[in-house]
């Protein structure tokens, strides 16, 4: 993966590989990697950027994945009663 993409999504190579291997990123073959460069689509990169922002804010990777899935569709995510995230186009 190119360094500029890692900078764009604001995660380390190791973190991105972990998320990929755990299946947190839709459409990524979690069995590949480990010395084989992964290719990410623009949609996956946008998904990773959302997940990265949410985990930096303290959300667990699992909850960040769930929220990123909804936000990627352009919807609203209710994190707790009265606390929502709305993605603006």
Residue of 70 and 88 predicted with greater confidence: 70
Mean pLDDT of the chain: 80
pLDDT computed for residue 40 by the predictor: 83
Q: Where are the domains of the chain?
A: 3-86
Q: List, for residues 14-45, the tens digit of each pLDDT value.
A: 898 888 888 898 888 766 666 667 778 888 88
The band of 55, judged by pLDDT with boundaries at 50, 70 and 90, is very high
Interval 69-79 mean pLDDT: 72
pTM, two decimals, is: 0.75
DSSP 57-78: TT--HHHHHHHHHHHHTT-EEE
Name the class of domain 3-86.
mainly alpha
């Amino acid at each position: 993966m190119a360094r500029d993409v890692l900078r764009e999504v604001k995660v380390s190579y190791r973190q991105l590989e972990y998320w990929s291997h755990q299946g947190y990123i839709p459409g990524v073959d979690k069995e590949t990697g480990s010395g084989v460069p992964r290719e990410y689509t623009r949609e996956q990169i946008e998904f990773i950027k959302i997940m990265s922002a949410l985990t930096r804010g303290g959300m667990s990777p699992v909850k960040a994945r769930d929220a990123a899935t909804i936000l990627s569709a352009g919807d609203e995510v209710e994190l707790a009663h009265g606390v929502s995230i709305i993605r603006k186009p």
